[in-house]
Every structure is written in C-alpha cells, then in structure tokens.
Amino acid sequence: MMSRKYDDLVPSPDPVSHRVRLISANWKMNLNHLEAIALVQKLYHLLRPEDFRYAEISIHPPFTSLRSLQLSFEADRMPFTLGAQNAADEPSGAFTGEVSAPMLAKLGVGYVIVGHSERRRLFGETSEEVARKAIAVQAMGMRPIICIGETSEQRRTDQTVQVLTEQLDPVLSTYPVKALEGIVIAYEPIWAIGSGESASPELVEEVGGSLRQLLTERVGSATAAQIRLQYGGSVHPGNAHEFMSLEAIDGLLVGGASLDADTFALLVKSC
C-alpha cells in the first residue's frame, strides 16, 4: 500500500491544454551511482508536494545508476519517474555495449530520450534509427522523448521547420498510430544546448506552433492535442518559467541545470 502522501503527488493536467507537464533531467554522462542517489535524495527533500502536482518530473541518469535510483525511489517513495537517455532498437542479441528497451522496462523506466542531438552528431544516429528506437521503447510500454533541433546555420538559412519536419517524419510515418498520443517531442535547438544561450520564448512559441500545426496535419487534431512538446537548451531557474508559460510548450528537457539539486529544485519551483 502506498502512503497517502505519495498517492496525492500526482501531477494535474494543465487546465488549458489538458496535457500533463513534464520536466526532465538529462544528466548525460555525469554522476556515478552514489552521487546519483545523493542528488535525488537532496532534490526530494527540497521539493514541496505542490511541485510534484504541477508537473511530472523524470530523472534520466546514465545506465549505471538506473537500478540504484529505481530502488531509492521505491524505498523512499519519491514520486520521480525514472528515465533513460537512450535505448537500442533491437530487443536482444550480439550488439556489444548496447542496452535494450526490454531491459529498461524491467527497471521501471517510464521515459526514454531518443535522438538527442549529441547522439545524432557524435554517434551518427539517423532519423530512421531514432524512429526505430522510439518504436522499441513504445513496444515495451514506455514513452519516448524524441529530440529534434536545428543547427545555427540551418536557422540562419531559414531551414528550421524543414529540418524539424525531416527529423520527425520517420517517426510520424512508422510509429503505431494508436500510440502516437503518448510520444513527447523535445525541441532543442542545437546552438542552444549547453551554450548558455537559450532560444528566445518568442522563437520557441513560433517553432512550437509550427510543430503543432505539422502534427495536426499529419496525425489529426485529436491525437496532436495529446502530444507533449518540451523545450530544451540552456534552461535555468531564471528562464524556465517563461518557457513553461508558452502555450505550445508542456515541459522542459534540462541538462546542465539538472546536475545540482539546489539549482534543479529552484528551477522546478520557479515554474
């Protein structure tokens, strides 16, 4: 039996969009499992019950900390959702160094980031591969957070919407139609990631609006209305609220500012 306190900490949907907000901490390749446990314990201590009711909070540590955090969340009834940063597109087999979606599901993972720009750029992941990973994640009952974003050059030459459309296209054309409403799309302009230079709220609202329009055209308005959009790229406690107030945006994907419990707690509270 879960305690009352834990049961109550369920996020309420946004009253206007009816979507549940999602704030995700992408730790990238940082923190060992002991540091990971210490961070979530401190974070939980710093957050108030209303913070958990405002938004779902997913924590995406490296693979090596997933089991430790799963146990910590369960033992201390911390209402965080466990997240991963990547998954293989195959369920098992001779793929040295890979971790599959069934393995993540077994650890209680709820969300898996796929197609982060660092994986596309440094590890050569294509949009087709990203779509296969998203489907593998969905097949195990988890939700993919599909990252898309343009380079500064693509932005300068007015190719943003075209690039984002190309990145999303393989997902929209191959993903199981009935499950599409469960996907999360993270709009992360590549030039804004880790640069300290976030996109302006006006730009994010404009791109978010274009993405919603694209989704409506491709999957129909009822399904599009369920799909959550996150913004990511140099989000910090000083600008998080502005992004969360945008009509098109339902959540945040936070890198650097999620690596310190005080900063991330401040960011969540500021929303």
Return the active site residues: 116, 188
Our finding on whether 83 is near ligand PGA (CB under 6 A) is no
Report phi then psi at 234, rounded to 5: 55, 40
Give, in order, the Cα–Cα distances in Å from 74 to each of 7, 83, 270.
13, 14, 27
Stretch touching ligand PGA by CB under 6 A, among 29-37, 93-101, 128-136, 231-239: 231-239
Which residue in 61, 79, 115, 255 binds ligand PGA (CB under 6 A)?
255
* Stretch 184-223: interaction string toward ligand PGA, x if CB under 6 A: ----x----xx-----------------------------
- One-letter amino acid at 153 equals E
Site residue total, ligand PGA (CB under 6 A): 13
Our finding on whether 234 is near ligand PGA (CB under 6 A) is yes
Taking alpha carbons only, the member of 146, 160, 250, 157 closest to residue 199 is: 160
Q: Which is nearer to ligand PGA, 5 or 121 (CB)?
A: 121
Stretch touching ligand PGA by CB under 6 A, among 51-59, 164-172, 174-182, 229-237: 229-237
Is 143 strand, coil or helix? strand
**Which 26-65 positions form the footprint of ligand PGA (CB under 6 A)?**
26
Q: Which is nearer to ligand PGA, 100 or 239 (CB)?
A: 239
Stretch touching ligand PGA by CB under 6 A, among 42-50, 62-70, 136-144, 232-240: 232-240
* Stretch 144-183: interaction string toward ligand PGA, x if CB under 6 A: ----------------------------------------
Distance between start and end Cα atoms, the chain: 31
Smallest gap from residue 76 Cβ to ligand PGA (A): 26
Stretch touching ligand PGA by CB under 6 A, among 47-55, 62-70, 211-219, 254-262: 254-262
DSSP character string of 180-222: GGG-EEEE--GGGTTSS-PPPHHHHHHHHHHHHHHHHHHH-HH
- Is the Cβ–Cβ distance between 247 and 211 less than 8 Å? no
Helix boundaries (H) for the chain: 4-8, 33-46, 49-54, 66-76, 101-106, 117-122, 127-139, 152-156, 160-174, 201-219, 221-224, 240-244, 261-270
Residues at the contact surface with ligand PGA, assessed by CB under 6 A:
26, 188, 193-194, 232-235, 253-257
